[in-house]
Structure 1
Amino acid sequence: MSLSTPSLTLQASALSFLSLSIGHTLCVLIPLFVLQLSGKEWTANKAFKSISGSQPWACGTVGWYQGSAFFFVTGLLHYQWSQNSVAFQDPINKAIAGIINILLWTSSAWYAKYGVKQNAWAVGLSAALQAWGVINSL
């Protein structure tokens, strides 16, 4: 693949992360990822409301938005990688891709373990797309 030939698999991965970021942030139903536990449901939960204003509430809320930012930045990174066929000659990029993939599969498994199946599928799909895109770019 030349520098001028974008990787469609990494572009698909970038799109999956952008979709996760939008869905995570805005708590909307988006065509590819119907999330079982939206932010509106999470923050409307009686247990969450009962801790409003506390340190656990502050950590949970800011963590929610940090997750959205992670998905967005990861999407940008994958898009950048899709435009640069030699990106994975750099061991740092390989390490970043590996860490992201481990994080995604672990998150998917965690959601599945606790019965949040749609989220498990959405994050697992992004993990699979990311792995496929990176492997195709090596």
Structure 2
Amino acid sequence: MSPTLLQAAAASFVLLSVGHTIKGREWTADPRFKTIKGTNPWTCGTLGWYQGSGFLLLTGLLHWQWSRDPTLLQDPVNKAMAGIVNLLLWASSVWYAKYGIKDTSIVLGISAALQAFGVGKACL
């Protein structure tokens, strides 16, 4: 069983984390967003955005761990985590597409396919 696809998935999550952080900085710099500074939506939106970046980084580390030992994906809990991650990626891709943010939708869709293929190969 080759760990290469899982390593690629891990790298994609690290890149997603960096891209997510950059997008967050752009989003929070929007003058409309700055008008709500100090409110609950501003606080939750900002914190939630950067928590998302941390989640993507953590997910990259998880995939790296799986690439080091793909047999971990035989465990039902690890399979469930991989499935949840894949569902989140696809759902996010569709959501962004629905609201016209096509570049992000495409990147997430590619990452979802890569992750599904890598995990699927490891689970066989």
Q: TM-score scaled to structure 2, two decimals?
A: 0.94
- Map 1:13-92 onto structure 2 (within 5 A): 13-25=9-21, 27=22, 38-92=23-77
Paired with 1:69 and 1:41, the residues of 2 have a C-alpha distance of 17
More helix by share: 2
Partner of 1:98: 83
User: What is the alpha-carbon distance in structure 2 between the residues aligned to residue 125 and residue 9 of structure 1?
Assistant: 13
1:131 to 107, 116, 122: 116
Aligned length: 123
Distance (Å, rounded) in 2 between the aligned partners of 1:21 and 1:121: 15
Runs of 4+ in 1 over 4 A off after TM superposition: none
Q: Alignment RMSD, CA only? A: 1.1
Map Cα deviations across residues 79-122 of structure 1 (whole Å, 9 max, x no partner).
Answer: 00011121121000000000000011000100000111111111
Aligned equivalents of 1:117, 1:92: Cα separation in 2: 33
Query: Displacement, 1:40?
Result: 3.4
Which runs of 5 or more structure 2 residues have no equivalent in the other structure? none
Equivalent of residue 115 in structure 1, options 81, 90, 100: 100
Please, which runs of 5 or more residues in structure 1 have no aligned partner? 28-37
What percentage of aligned pairs have identical amino acids? 59
